Structure 1
Amino acid sequence: MPGISARGLSHEGRRQLAVNLTRVLALHRSILDAYIIEFFTDNLWDTLPCSWQEALDGLNPPQLATMLLGMPGEGEVVRYRSVWPLTLLALKSTACALAFTRTPGFQTASEFLENPSQSSRLTAPFRKHVRPKKQHEIRRLGELVKKLSDFTGCTQVVDVGSGQGHLSRFMALGLGLMVKSIEGDQRLVERAQRLDQELLQALEKEEKRNPQVVQTSPRHSPHHVVRWVDPTALCEELLLPLENPCQGRARLLLTGLHACGDLSVALLRHFSCCPEVVALASVGCCYMKLSDPGGYPLSQWVAGLPGYELPYRLREGACHALEEYAERLQKAGPGLRTHCYRAALETVIRRARPELRRPGVQGIPRVHELKIEEYVQRGLQRVGLDPQLPLNLAALRAHQAQENRVVAFFSLALLLAPLVETLILLDRLLYLQEQGFHAELLPIFSPELSPRNLVLVATKMPLGQALSILETEDS
């Protein structure tokens, strides 16, 4: 999906973008606030302008991917079957123009051409126990952190919210960085330590088989710490150096790969408040878990704009994977009917228990193979209701006939979702700039593999030409 590069914007340009985003989001708040499972109970289709209904009604999923989301299939030409209203065309153009681009400045597909489950850019020991998505992420972010560390003269990298330590292991044992790994879940830390030892043994075996790749410098496994990082307070453990620096205080680089909710905010605050933290490379996610207030807004500029508020539903929508859904639309598989089925189930639940609204429904396997009444019966059982409740089959069939409308409404919300993510990340950029720091947003992952692919890079010295180096692929 096309978009705007944060790099091409001045400080004033970023401020104006925030103004434009808040205006557009306020204008279309009703679409973003809606829950797709309430499509029938709240009659969401009729909340759209009549001219929009006429333009979208009857479009099949591939047409929605092409005409609305702007992602045509290979060799496909966009052909509108009717003249769309200017307001809908303006929404489509605005959504593309105001969202930060998630398209990296490099080709990523070749990494998995030979084997879709194994990155050709990582050696076998670093791929073990790591899914393709994570292989791509740890390699790309690890390489960026290594370059940023060299550029800023960091003595230690701190990986916050490190999970099973895949990124920490690659940075320490693959790139030779001194790494402290901080994770709040003891079980994940124990798992990470076992994987460290397994990787060390695999690397030693590889060296014996291939003497020409013998490691010339000593390896340092990540230093794992079990610690919950409080987003509202400084974490002393995070700031402690692993070794006494030869000259002066330690110079730390903080990183987090999809640091969840407030954890991303905690990284920003440590960078801002602590002189020993000289660089930051953070990829956020789970925006709906941000504290309100506290996690957003951070900048004075965004906090002063009318309509800046982003309630839970909007932040949750910003975590959807637009590229992945567009691909599903292109394939037009039966799995797309899930939203329609769940919305139909909601009507039955409300009829039986009016006070029970939007209950979580445990995953129902192979939905696409079920008749709608079979899905509803299983869904009723999962929310503690009698699966043998009498059903209005005619009403359910009528709901099922509107499947494409449900998909179209969800696609509209998905078109707007990147604007919410852009505003959240833009707020973080402005927060850092307001304090005199240097910050940029770079798309470093393939969005098809990793939808949350924008890394926030910040330093306390001008980045200059280093930005171009950070974005490039290593050979």
Structure 2
Amino acid sequence: MGHTPLLMAGSPGWTEPATAGHTAAGDAWGRGSGQSTAYALAFTRTPGFQTPSEFLENPSQSSRLTAPFRKHVRPKKQHEIRRLGELVKKLSDLTGCTQVVDVGSGQGHLSRFMSLGLGLMVKSIEGDQRLVERAQRLDQELLQALQKEEKRNPQVVHTGPRHRPHHVVRWVDPMALCEELLLPVENSPQSEARLLLTGLHACGDLSVALLRHFSCCPEVAALASVGCCYMKLSDPGGYPLSQWVAGLPGRELPYRLREGACHALEEYAERLQKAGPGLRTHCYRAALETVIRRARPELRRPGVQGIPRVHELKIEEYVQRGLQRVGLDPNLPLNLAALRAHQAQENRVVAFFSLALLLAPLVETLILLDRLLYLQEQGFHAELLPIFSPELSPRNLVLVATKRPLGETFSVLETEDS
């Protein structure tokens, strides 16, 4: 496990915490005994290479992707599909996989890059019919753009195969095997596919489903999974998976901790250093929660869509917009004195949120360690690698697994192609 980041004390493969290599944001959070302990016990989120300045010339366009692959794709996603796609390509070559299955593929940005950009045979599985239809339209648009580009630049010869992704509308049950996932794509020259499963921020139990398919299905030779939305994990069922974590006293992770583990530590540390008015959001959201619970006590954990330019709003204006976003009457009578009293505690709310966020990487570490050990306990070869810049993509650890040892070859997956 030479490339696996630090494990929790007492776990298999535990080593003493390293003291070097901390990011500036990490150092800012790492002062003090409690902060230092939390930081030292968490998996490192810093990639083991110097990420090129792909957005130096243009903050919205990765210099590492050609124009057709950037269209309709935000900078964060450009970085993610390129990095994960290149890792999947290397892993596919190393394990002799004939087909990649992208589970929870959404609009198909990763699938398009892997198939039309890297020449892989890709099946995309997505449960939302509307997203699949949009993915198919974007596939056609990209193919036309690539053909036009080749006509304009005939000296640029496309050397590899060009397979369009094969899209399938299918919900994947986290607790059952999905036969569609295991079938070779139509018109595939291979009667029996050797599969590589991947998922870019597969939500909640969907990431767990990838692990179970890898473990149970002989057709699946490799796995590259980036998880997300830990608060949506089933318990039991989604966590814990490993015998070791299941045996830990106090291993329970309530919703609030798992939800906090999805927040961006590096980005928030920068916001704290700037101490801008945007920090007011936490206080406003807390005040909104008190109003929601008074109006509808049974409405727990309501998702409130982002409200733009919060720092320019009065607290009562924010509350009214928030009520509307959760389906409540925005004209409910408000206790303005109580809202003002909440607003006066803004600094205390920020301090509380900061302390809670300090534990976020540690909670994520426990969840990912559980998945890593689940695979290793079954004799598989698995590593956790930070492949995205955490400033661009906070959920940046990919769980890579194979059924035969790769040894030091795992380090090749981390490297940045020139």
TM-score of the superposition, structure 1-length normalised?
A: 0.76
Could you say if the C-alpha distance between residues 339 and 74 of structure 1 is closer, same or farther in structure 2, counting changes exceeding 3 Å? Answer: farther
Deviation (angstroms), 1:180: 1.0
Q: Is the 8 A contact 2:112 2:164 kept in 1?
A: yes
Aligned equivalents of 1:69 and 1:432: distance in 2?
19
Q: Is the 8 A contact 1:444 1:453 kept in 2?
A: yes
Deviation (angstroms), 1:73: 34
Aligned equivalents of 2:270 and 2:13: distance in 1?
9
Aligned equivalents of 1:166 and 1:108: distance in 2?
21
Deviations 1:147-187 (A, max 9, x none): 00111111111111111111111111111111111111111
Deviation (angstroms), 1:264: 0.6
Deviation (angstroms), 1:309: 1.1
Aligned equivalents of 2:11 and 2:59: distance in 1?
23
Could you say if the C-alpha distance between residues 362 and 228 of structure 1 is closer, same or farther in structure 2, counting changes exceeding 3 Å? Answer: closer
SS in 2 for 1:212: coil
Deviation (angstroms), 1:339: 1.5
Could you say if the C-alpha distance between residues 307 and 172 of structure 1 is closer, same or farther in structure 2, counting changes exceeding 3 Å? Answer: same
Q: Is the 8 A contact 2:8 2:14 kept in 1?
A: no
Aligned equivalents of 1:303 and 1:276: distance in 2?
28
TM-score of the superposition, structure 2-length normalised?
A: 0.86
Corresponding residue of 1:74? 14
Aligned equivalents of 2:13 and 2:277: distance in 1?
19
Q: Is the 8 A contact 1:377 1:388 kept in 2?
A: yes
Deviation (angstroms), 1:234: 1.0
User: Per residue, is there more helix in 1 or in 2?
Assistant: 1
Comparing 337-346 with 445-454, greater Cα deviation is found at 337-346
Q: Is the 8 A contact 1:71 1:326 kept in 2?
A: no
> Which runs of no fewer than 5 residues in structure 1 stay unpaired?
1-66, 77-91
Q: Is the 8 A contact 2:184 2:190 kept in 1?
A: no
SS in 1 for 2:83: helix
Q: Which has the bigger relative contact order, CA under 8 A and spacing at least 6?
A: 1
Aligned equivalents of 2:270 and 2:397: distance in 1?
20
Aligned equivalents of 1:142 and 1:392: distance in 2?
52
Q: Is the 8 A contact 1:69 1:326 kept in 2?
A: no
**What's the Cα RMSD here?**
4.9
Comparing 215-224 with 107-116, greater Cα deviation is found at 215-224
Aligned equivalents of 1:132 and 1:73: distance in 2?
36
Aligned equivalents of 1:68 and 1:296: distance in 2?
17
Aligned equivalents of 1:181 and 1:366: distance in 2?
37
Could you say if the C-alpha distance between residues 348 and 182 of structure 1 is closer, same or farther in structure 2, counting changes exceeding 3 Å? Answer: closer
Deviation (angstroms), 1:203: 0.9
Corresponding residue of 2:243? 300
Corresponding residue of 2:256? 313
Deviations 1:276-299 (A, max 9, x none): 111000001011111111011001
Aligned equivalents of 1:244 and 1:386: distance in 2?
54
Could you say if the C-alpha distance between residues 229 and 397 of structure 1 is closer, same or farther in structure 2, counting changes exceeding 3 Å? Answer: closer
Deviation (angstroms), 1:218: 3.8
Could you say if the C-alpha distance between residues 341 and 304 of structure 1 is closer, same or farther in structure 2, counting changes exceeding 3 Å? Answer: same
Deviation (angstroms), 1:351: 6.1
Q: Is the 8 A contact 1:155 1:245 kept in 2?
A: no
Aligned equivalents of 1:331 and 1:295: distance in 2?
38
Q: Is the 8 A contact 1:244 1:250 kept in 2?
A: no
Deviations 1:100-119 (A, max 9, x none): 11111123350100000000
Aligned equivalents of 2:181 and 2:56: distance in 1?
39
Deviations 1:242-283 (A, max 9, x none): 378878842111111111111111110111011111100000
Comparing 195-204 with 140-149, greater Cα deviation is found at 195-204
Deviation (angstroms), 1:344: 3.1
Could you say if the C-alpha distance between residues 438 and 349 of structure 1 is closer, same or farther in structure 2, counting changes exceeding 3 Å? Answer: closer
Comparing 393-402 with 109-118, greater Cα deviation is found at 393-402
Aligned equivalents of 2:297 and 2:166: distance in 1?
53
Q: Is the 8 A contact 2:9 2:41 kept in 1?
A: no
Aligned equivalents of 2:414 and 2:14: distance in 1?
27
Aligned equivalents of 2:292 and 2:191: distance in 1?
65
Identical aligned residues as a percent = 93
Aligned equivalents of 2:291 and 2:214: distance in 1?
51
Q: Number of matched residues?
A: 394
Deviation (angstroms), 1:389: 6.9
Aligned equivalents of 2:121 and 2:328: distance in 1?
55
Could you say if the C-alpha distance between residues 425 and 69 of structure 1 is closer, same or farther in structure 2, counting changes exceeding 3 Å? Answer: closer
